[in-house]
Each structure stands twice: as C-alpha cells, then as structure tokens.
C-alpha cells in the first residue's frame, strides 16, 4: 500500500517477495491477501508464487490448503516442479502421513519429473521417524541404484534412523564405508554415531571415536560433548563425565540445559546429593533450569524420603 501511494506499481517480483516473506514467517493470512491483491491487479502468479504459498501451508501442516493451491496452480497452466513436490512431501512426512508421501512420490516419478536427492532424503527421514526403517533402507538402495547420489545429509538421516531403530551394527557398517570415502563427514555425522554407540551400550567404542576426533580434524560441538557425557553417565562413569564437563568448557563449548540436567540426574541416581546441588547452582547461574525429567526424579526421591523438601526449593 505504501508503494502504491508513492505511485510505485508492484510487479510479480514484488508480490513474490511479499508472499515468500509472509509464508516463511507463518503469516499465511497475510500471504493469501498479497496473492489476492496480485490477482485483482492483473499480475499473473508464477511458479515462485505458488511454491511459496504451498511451502507455507505445508510448514503449518495445512495440507488440504496446500493441495488446493496445487490444483489452482495446475488450472492456471503453471507446471509444478520438484521444489513444489518436495514441499508437499515434507508436509506429509511432518504430519506423520508417510504413506500419502510415498503415494505422491510415485506419482511425481510417473509424471516424468526427476526426483532428486532432497526428495529421497525427505522420505527416508519420514519412514525412519515413523519407525519403518526397512522401507527407509529400501528407498536409500533405490536411490543409489537409480544414480541419485546421496549427500552427507541423506547419510546422516539414514544413520540416525538406523541407530534410533535398534540397527546400530548396520549403521556402523555404512559409517565405516563412509570414513574410507572422500566425503567430508563433519561433526554432525560423528555425533550421530557416538550417540548411537552410547545408546547401544558401546560407550567404550563411543569414547574411542570421540577421543579420535581431533586427529580427524573434526572439532566436537556442544551436542557432541553432551551426548558423550550422557553416555558416560549411563555407564556409571560419573567422574569421567565431570572431567569432560570441564574439558568442554576449556574447549570453548559452554554446557547447555541438556548437559546440566543429564549430569544432575546421574548424580541423583548415584545418591550424590551434594554433587547434584553444586551442578544445580552452577546451572542456575548460567540461566538454565531443571527440565521435566529432573523435576520428576526429585519428586520421586522426595516421596521415598531419599531427600528433603529444601532440595526441591533449590530447583525452583
């Protein structure tokens, strides 16, 4: 409106910017108003317009509206591209409708649109997160056999899914092959494997890999340290976990609320109330607070008489 008052006539590029910004900020009512204003002014929407609106609806799991916009797009003789369909695939997967995502994926291929690495990665993640990791593995194999090259993100999604679904050994096999390849794995990939090892009871192996990171030229981040600390806590190696907390700080990685809460619970489980109290005070100094799991543990210990109410007061 400001533009119009200054006699600047908005064109398709202007409207696309306004729609895209509104959609990405979740202001879909505003995005639709810009679209309607566009039509009123006789400015024809293009593929960028429709992709922004469909992407916005999918981000908010408003899939019916996304599909209506897709139909409108086709009716207006604007052909959807792989970006259009990737938004819809992600929308379906985020809404836990992986079978609908798979159906659309197959339709896209039948329409002659070349599915890309992103499309496969979205589906692999969707099936991993829904616990159907066998289908995710099949999709990955299909992808490779069709010459669609997996990138580091695809591998990360698959390894994470395998680890989360009790297939650590399979994940380690793939990881071993990757380490021999020329792919730059990065700290995210190493963190996924370290966490998988810790959850799978291979804490010693996780520690060996963690300790070798600097030799590989990879620097652990806050999440890597937190995952390793959590593994040591799970194993009952509290002193090592405490040492790692201090090393983490020395390396310039400030512990976060997850790091502190995991350590506090480990000390509580070990009946080390003094150690827990010190960590709680430190955590509060840095502006963090106890999470639901820590609160529940303290309440349970209060009910069994293992600690007094002053401890609960310290948490709040």
pLDDT in tens, 143-200: 999 999 999 999 999 999 999 999 999 999 999 999 888 888 999 999 999 999 999 9
The tens digit of pLDDT for each residue in 102-149 reads 999 999 988 889 999 999 999 999 999 999 999 999 999 999 999 999
Q: Write out the H or E segment, with its range, that includes residue 96.
A: none
Percent over 90 (pLDDT), the chain: 84
Contacts of 74 (CB under 8 A, 6+ apart): 80
Asked: is 82-182 a CATH 1.10.240.10 domain? The reply is no
The alpha-carbon radius of gyration of the chain (Å, integer) is 25
The Cα 260–Cα 229 span in angstroms is 10
Chain centroid, CA 276 distance in Å: 30
With 90 as the cut, is the pLDDT of residue 309 above it? no
Q: For every residue of 284-316, which 3-state class applies, written as one string?
A: HHCCCCCCHHHHHHHHHHHHCCCCCHHHHHHHC
224 closest CA partner among 251, 184, 202, 201: 251
pLDDT digits (tens, 9 = 90+) for 34-76: 999 999 999 999 999 999 999 999 999 999 999 999 999 999 9
The predicted model scores a pTM of 0.85
Would you say residue 312 has pLDDT above 70? yes
The residue behind tokens 């293009």 is 46
């Amino acid at each position: 409106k400001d533009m119009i008052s200054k006699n600047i006539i908005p064109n398709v590029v202007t409207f696309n910017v306004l729609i895209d910004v509104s959609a990405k900020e979740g202001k879909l009512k505003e995005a639709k108003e810009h679209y309607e204003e566009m039509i009123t002014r006789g400015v024809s929407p293009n593929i960028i317009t429709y992709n922004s609106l469909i992407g916005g609806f999918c981000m908010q799991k408003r899939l019916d509206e996304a599909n209506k916009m897709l139909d409108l797009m086709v009716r207006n003789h604007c052909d959807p591209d792989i970006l259009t369909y990737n938004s819809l695939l992600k929308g379906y997967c985020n809404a836990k409708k992986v079978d609908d995502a798979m159906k659309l994926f197959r339709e896209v291929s039948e329409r002659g649109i070349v599915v890309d690495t992103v499309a496969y990665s979205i589906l692999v993640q969707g099936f991993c997160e829904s616990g159907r990791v066998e289908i995710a593995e099949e999709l990955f194999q299909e992808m490779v056999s069709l010459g669609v090259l997996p990138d580091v993100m695809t591998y990360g999604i698959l390894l994470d899914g395998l680890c989360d679904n009790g297939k650590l050994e399979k994940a380690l096999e793939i990881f071993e092959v990757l380490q021999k390849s020329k792919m730059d794995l990065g700290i995210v990939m190493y963190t996924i494997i370290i966490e998988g090892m810790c959850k799978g009871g291979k804490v010693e192996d996780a520690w060996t890999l963690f300790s070798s990171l600097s030799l590989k030229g990879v620097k652990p981040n806050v999440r890597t340290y937190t995952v390793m600390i959590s593994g040591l806590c799970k194993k009952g190696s509290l002193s090592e976990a405490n040492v790692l907390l201090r090393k983490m700080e020395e390396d310039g990685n400030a512990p976060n609320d997850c790091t502190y809460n995991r350590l506090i619970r480990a000390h509580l489980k070990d009946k080390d109330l003094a150690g827990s109290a010190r960590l709680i005070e430190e955590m509060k100094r840095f502006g963090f607070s106890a999470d639901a799991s820590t609160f529940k543990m303290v309440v349970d210990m209060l009910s069994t008489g293992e600690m007094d109410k002053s401890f609960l007061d310290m948490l709040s």
